[in-house]
Chains A and B, each alone.
Chain A
Amino acid sequence: MKLREIRDILDAELITGDANLDKEIKYVNAADLISDVLAYSTGPGALLITGIVHSQVIYAANTIELGAILFVRGKRPNEATLQLAVENHIPLLTTRYIMFETCGRLYQLGMRACIEKVKNDRGGK
Chain B
Amino acid sequence: MTGAGNNIPFYEMFHIDGGNFTNAGSISSQVKKILMRAGFSHGVIRRTSIATFEAEMNVICYANRGNISLFITSDSLKIVVEDEGVGIPDVNLAMKEGYSTASEKIHELGFGAGMGLSNIKNHTDGMILTSKIGQGTHLEFVISLEGKDKEKVAPLFAARG
Name A's B-contacting residues (CB within 8 A).
32-36, 38-39, 44, 50, 52, 54-60, 62-65, 88, 120, 122-125
Interface residue? B160 (CB, 8 A) = no
A33–B108 alpha-carbon span in the complex (Å): 9
Over the window 91-108 of chain B, the binary record of Cβ atoms lying under 8 Å from chain A Cβ atoms (1 yes, 0 no) is 000001110000000000
Min distance, Cβ A89 to any Cβ of chain B, angstroms: 13
A33 contacts B50, C-beta separation under 8 Å: no
> Among residues 4 to 50 in chain B, which have CB atoms less than 8 Å away from a CB atom of chain A?
21-26, 28-29, 32, 42, 46, 49-50
A59 contacts B53, C-beta separation under 8 Å: yes
Residue of B nearest to A31 (CB): B110
Q: Mark the stretch among B69-77, B112-120, B135-143, B149-157 that contacts chain A.
A: B112-120
Residue of B nearest to A118 (CB): B97
B53 contacts A38, C-beta separation under 8 Å: yes
Min distance, Cβ A14 to any Cβ of chain B, angstroms: 23
A64 contacts B110, C-beta separation under 8 Å: no
If the complex has contacts A63-B32, A123-B98, are A54 and B109 also in contact, measured as CB distance less than 8 A? yes
Number of B residues with CB within 8 Å of any CB on chain A: 30
Of all A-B residue pairs in the complex, the 6 with the closest CB atoms, nearest first, are A59-B25, A35-B115, A122-B97, A35-B113, A63-B49, A33-B113
If the complex has contacts A34-B57, A34-B111, A44-B42, are A60 and B25 also in contact, measured as CB distance less than 8 A? yes
Most chain B beta-carbon neighbours within 10 Å: one of A33, A54, A63: A63
Name B's A-contacting residues (CB within 8 A).
21-26, 28-29, 32, 42, 46, 49-50, 53-54, 57, 96-98, 109-116, 118-119, 122
Min distance, Cβ A91 to any Cβ of chain B, angstroms: 18
Q: Can you report 22 residue pairs joining A to B where beta carbons are below 8 Å apart? A: A34-B111, A35-B54, A35-B111, A38-B115, A38-B119, A39-B122, A50-B110, A55-B22, A55-B24, A55-B25, A56-B57, A57-B110, A59-B25, A59-B29, A62-B25, A63-B49, A63-B53, A64-B46, A88-B29, A122-B96, A123-B98, A125-B122
Residue of B nearest to A37 (CB): B110
B110 contacts A34, C-beta separation under 8 Å: yes
A122–B115 alpha-carbon span in the complex (Å): 9
Q: Other than the known A33-B113, A44-B42, what 8 A-B pairs have Cβ atoms closer than 8 Å? A: A34-B113, A38-B119, A55-B22, A55-B25, A59-B25, A88-B29, A122-B97, A124-B118
If the complex has contacts A39-B115, A59-B24, are A52 and B110 also in contact, measured as CB distance less than 8 A? yes
